[in-house]
Chains A and B, each alone.
Chain A
Amino acid sequence: MEMLDKLTILADAAKYDVACTSCGVDRKAKKGQLGSTTRAGICHSFSADGRCITLLKVLLSNACSYDCAYCVNRRSNDVPRATFSARELAELTIGFYRRNYIEGLFLSSGVLRNPDYTTERMCEAIALLRDEYGFRGYIHAKAIPGTSEELLIRLGVLADRMSINIEFPSAQSLNLLAPGKARQSIIQPMRFVRDGIKANYQDKRLSTVRRTRFAPAGQSTQMIIGASPESDFQILKLSASLYQTFEMRRVFFSAYIPVNTNPLLPPVREVPLLREHRLYQADWLMRFYGFDVTEVIDERHPYLDLQIDPKANWALNHIDEFPIEINRAPYESLLRIPGVGVRGASRIVMARRERRLRFEDLCRLNIILKRARYFITCNGVFAPDVIFDPLHIYEQLSRVTKQNQSNKFLKGQLSLFDASCVNNSDGIGSVSGQEQTAIRSGKFGLLETPAAVEQVASYAGK
């Protein structure tokens, strides 16, 4: 088979894996060897769906002896199959890397014969890259559930990051949709990888010798959103506990895209991209902004509001903690302002040592006030035109979301006081009936939006 065809098949089969990041480990370049990694990672391209391409993301083989309902590679699917040889994969990776196309390799695989056999093949391919080609770039290896521990150790020592997909937010869904994978066969290797990573730090001697470190960039996992009936609450609770118990670096969400028709799977009319986006936002709040999962979402309101982002949502539900005075509030409070990020908050703290900040000064600090303006005061005064009323703010913010949505999540690059912000007095009446009900019910965001209710109902009916 031509290399081009193989690559097409094996990249196509890997494209639903979301974990395309190359960060978490700084490995300096070394004379005479190809490659280095940077802590922040580098994206080298963006595909037409707007997702970043940083690693050569392929399967070693798409021939699989399992039969997971949601997966294109399942045994019972009639698709062309291909398998890379170790040499082919290494040549391809090196060729791409030398041209600055990629940061490294993301290697996953269907289950060839059995998990151990598959993992052995993966180790072989990566070892070739590392040893013979002296490759120092990033390698993310996906562990196959059910692999023996010796092989996991080998894989972890060769790779930078390991991941085992948890696949679904609950054991029931997993049983139903991935009958070949027992919950235990996923949890166990996760625990094993966690302990392996911990051992890096306990044994100082080991960790200083390169290549004996076990998965230095940590482990990550991913779950499919929207193929099973779990609520956002369940999903976020689960991811919080994954961060805690398994010390995950990242939990990825992947909006379900129907690739197979199966009576077990829900009929999806639309890929739940906005929901996925909100879940990621909530995830960020927990990882970088010191939010607890219970602050982001609670059992009584188990779905994130699609109209406004989770941080604004939290702010509206805790409106008595606002407005926040830019010139006095501690760093932790600044971080809680919707629209102010980690960098923005530290810039404020830095700049206000010299002078009392006014709104123009915030603009100089490159802080986007589109959302923040409703929640802050500078020297005790609000931004012009701000009506500090939760109902009103909710309306304004959902209008911002609508604009962004029509821009399809184009990141808000509008400058301070752009036209839409200044003239926010017009067009208030144009709130849809659905939103008005939401607003009148008095609870912001954590409410069951009609769309969410409908979603649940449609699953329950199945």
Chain B
Amino acid sequence: MLENERMNGRKGTRPERAYCKIVPGAPEPNAPVPSEKLSSCLSQSSAASEPNAPVASTEALLGDADLIYLYDGSLEGLLSAVFAAFARKEAPVNLAVKHNLQESLLCSSVFIDTDLVAADRVQAGIKRVLGSDTYEAVKQVFLSKNEHKGGVILRYLRHGFKRGRWFYTQLAHPVVSEFTAVQRVVINEAHYLRQFVRFAQLESGLYFARIQPKASVVPLIMDHFADRFNVQPFIIYDARHQLAGIFDTERWWLTDASQIQTPALSAEEDNFQALWQTFFDTITIEERRNPRCQRSFMPKRFWGNLCEQIPPQLRRRHPQTPTQIVQVLNELH
């Protein structure tokens, strides 16, 4: 374990994949909002000066304290809202998902229509001016459950366009540090899932895993599993975010999955689970028992989806504990 470096910030260099589908019923994504400001900001590779930028950093953090933008919950929607903030020279405190917002007396909210053209321009601008790593980072933060992620992303990008490509090394800057803190949670969660996804084989031969992560990290882990398990079709089902990643041995994609029937397991699945449970129990050295340490590496919230953590009395085909087996064998000999 010690050798294992947590949280490697390596970003994929894979071709772009859609992170979020456009929610059906969203307004037609046309009507671009042309803006001098934004284009100047996005096209100049040097740190474009921004006349409207708040002067002090506290002010930058607070922004227009009484303004919130709403978007439809998709990445494109978020990027459209970012575009609008630049275009309208406004600094909303947050970009929130429409249905999540609790009406507040203190804030006025404006709904920003998702505009694919604007979203594309923002994406291209981020990549060109701030590098594709920054775009990956924005996508990671977008997957977070943090309610303020929209505002965090907006401030981060604004700061980036002002300071130029290397702004992300300013780790002690409040805007950068709030961003990296949210990002860290997502990256850690993705790493946890690379460890703790457990596939079960279904009757059809498909492998199925159920997870309930803190952040919607399925898009971040699919590459890893699709590479490693390229010979087996699989589904990773995120029950909390109702999202499924599907891999058919050629390519992977995401789909909404609000209801998934608990599928029937293959004949040998029980067998392998029992073997794994046995191995897991056996490998423990009793004299070193240390459940606290175990929990600190493998938090309890994952246990519900780990077959080795199913208590023995609830296991299907596992009548005896390992010590009992050894006892029985001893008697036989």
Contact = CB atoms under 8 A, between A and B. Distances in A.
Interface stretch (B44-52, B140-148, B191-199): B191-199
Interface string B218-238: 000000010111111000000
Interface residues of A, number: 74
B274 interface: yes
A347 B291 CA distance: 32
A50 interface: yes
Interface in A43-78: 43-54, 56-57, 78
B55 interface: no
Contacts of B94: none
Nearest to B163: A354
Contacts of A41: 3-4
A99 B202 CA distance: 11
B212 interface: no
Contacts of B181: 366
A257 B285 contact: yes
Contacts, number: 203
Contacts of B227: 28-29, 36
Given A40-B3, A46-B298, A98-B199, A11 B282 contact: yes
B3 A408 contact: no
Contacts of B286: 49
Query: Looking at chain A's contact residues, is the secondary structure mostly helix, strand, loop, or mixed?
Result: loop
A205 interface: no
Nearest to A50: B293
A301 B200 CA distance: 54
A40 B2 contact: no
Contacts of A34: 228-232
B292 A21 contact: no
Contact of A408 (B198, B229, B290): B290
Contacts of A36: 227-228
A419 interface: no
Interface in A326-351: 347, 350-351
Interface in A104-133: none
Interface majority SS on B: helix, strand, loop or mixed?
helix
Given A7-B279, A12-B322, A49 B290 contact: yes
Interface string A4-33: 110111011001100001011000111111
Nearest to A98: B232
Given A32-B231, A350-B171, A355-B172, A45 B280 contact: yes
A7 B3 CA distance: 27
A407 interface: yes
A413 B229 CA distance: 34
Contact of B169 (A30, A45, A250, A350): A350
B228 A35 contact: yes
A42 interface: yes
B177 A42 contact: no
Interface of B: 1-5, 8, 169-174, 177, 181, 184, 194-201, 207, 209, 225, 227-232, 268, 272, 274-276, 278-280, 282-294, 296-298, 306, 308, 322, 325-326, 329-330, 332-333
27 contacts: A9-B329, A21-B2, A34-B229, A36-B227, A40-B3, A44-B196, A45-B280, A47-B284, A48-B289, A49-B285, A49-B293, A50-B288, A50-B291, A52-B1, A80-B326, A96-B276, A98-B207, A99-B207, A99-B276, A100-B229, A257-B288, A271-B287, A280-B2, A351-B172, A364-B172, A365-B171, A408-B290
